[in-house]
Every structure is written in C-alpha cells, then in structure tokens.
Structure 1
C-alpha cells in the first residue's frame, strides 16, 4: 500500500489545524455567547413575569427572600412596589414603574432574540464550513491513498 506524499500530508495537517484550532474554537465561542444571550433572555422573562404578577395582584408591598451572594438569603420587606430598579446595562440601574419595567423587558428581549438569531446563523455557517473542510480533508486522504476505499 502506497503512503501519501509529503505535500498531501502537509495539506492534510493544514486542514486538521484549520478544523481543530480555528473553526471548532470559533464555533465554541459563538455557542457560548449564544448561551449567555439565552440566559439574559431568561432574566428578561423572569423580570416581566414578576412585574406582571405585582400588577395583576395589585400588590403594594411584599415580603421576599433576597440573595446576598453565595446562596446566603435574608428576608426583605418591600414597603412600596410601585417602583423598581432595573439593571439597564453597564452596571446602571434605572428606577421604573412596573409598566415601564415590563415594556423595557420586552424591548430588551426582542434585541436579545435578534442577537441569538444572528449567533445561531453564525454557528450554522461555522458548522457548514467545518463539514466542507472535513469533506475536503477526506477527499484529499482518499486521493493520497488510492487503495483506501470509502465506506
């Protein structure tokens, strides 16, 4: 059985490096970013559900448990639920009415869904590129070893 020549072996190594070190790593970063976007969408839904509950039940005050960090909770009494502070990004919290918080969460969720859709498209493109390069590598290896049969 004849082994592939040095030029073919070098091309095969270049394809493997492209797949493993560039494309798969880019795909991983895109999927991680999309997961973070989905988590933010989940927070928007949670905010909206909580605000809608306060509106529907006409709660003017409430008791709740507040996470101080590391799952250490304290009981908190909120005397006035007509205003809330919402994280609007970059560490800034804006005071809003419940209705404003609901509207804000809808707008943010729409933008985040657009971002998630773009990331999904990027991941599909990267997966297609990986498949294309794997196919080229497979073809190269078949050409480099004529006695090798494809299954």
Structure 2
C-alpha cells in the first residue's frame, strides 16, 4: 500500500529493511563488546600468550595459538584490519560502539517513523471505508 499523493512509499518492506539494518548494527556492536571482554580477560589474567578456538565460519572452529597478546588485529571497517595494542583497541572499540549506537538509534527512529506513517494510512483507509459505508 502506498501513499500516491506524497510520492513516499510506506510499505512494510521498508519497515522490515530498517529493522534488519538496525539488527545488523546491534550484532556488530555485540561482536565489538565481546572483543572488549576478551581484551579485559587477557589483561586481568596477565596472559602473554593464548590458546583458543577460532570460528572459521558456519560454527566451524580451529585451534589457534597466539604467541604474543600485546597486539591484536581489529576490524576497522571496509574489510580492513589494523594491528593495535590492547589499550588502542579498547579506545577504538569505545568510539566505534558509540558511533554504531547512534547509527542504530537513527534506524530505530526511522522504523518508528515508518510505523507511524503506516498506522496513519491504515487509519485514513478505515475512516474512508466507514464514510463510504454510510
């Protein structure tokens, strides 16, 4: 269903797309927060090397040995990974999460706006249907 007079499309797929993008942002935030937790664990336990499992995709894991935990590689976006100290990574994650939370809030606001417009159009249709019945 579309509002023809304004030229703006108020279809449910637009709402679904906004919610999916927002959920993707929240998933990325979750991944960064997991990394922050791992960094804190390394610091708290004074780990200089680490044996772990790495997810290669589709829940397929491989054992990994990290000989030096003083530096890690962090996904900074657009497929780039940057080597950082733990302190640099911590700082980067804090800033990245703040930025991504603002982005998620923007998508939430847009989804709410779409919901309101859909509700308004449905209300107008119901009112028009009641007027034609009389």
Q: What TM-score does the superposition give when structure 2 sets the normalisation length? A: 0.91
Consecutive unaligned residues in structure 1, runs of 5 or more: 1-16, 147-151
Greater mean deviation of Cα atoms: 69-78 or 30-39: 69-78
Instruction: Give 2:93's aligned residue.
Output: 105
Q: Which has the larger radius of gyration?
A: 1
1:28-54 Cα deviation digits (max 9, x unpaired): 110010000100110111111111111
Tell me the TM-score normalized by structure 1.
0.81
Which one has more relative contact order, counting CA pairs under 8 Å at least 6 apart?
1
Q: After alignment, is 44-53 or 64-73 more displaced?
A: 64-73
- 1:40 corresponds in structure 2 to 28
- The reply to whether residue 145 of structure 1 matches residue 130 of structure 2 is no
CA distance in 1, matches of 2:13, 2:122: 15
The answer as to 2:2 corresponding to 1:18 is yes
Deviation at 1:71, TM superposition (A): 2.6
Aligned to 2:46: 58
What stretches of structure 2 of length at least 5 have no aligned partner? 4-8
- Residues 87-144 of structure 1, C-alpha deviations (whole Å, 9 max, x = no match): 1111111000011111111100000000011111111111110110001000110011
Q: Alpha carbon RMSD of aligned pairs, Å?
A: 1.3
Q: Which has the higher helix share?
A: 1
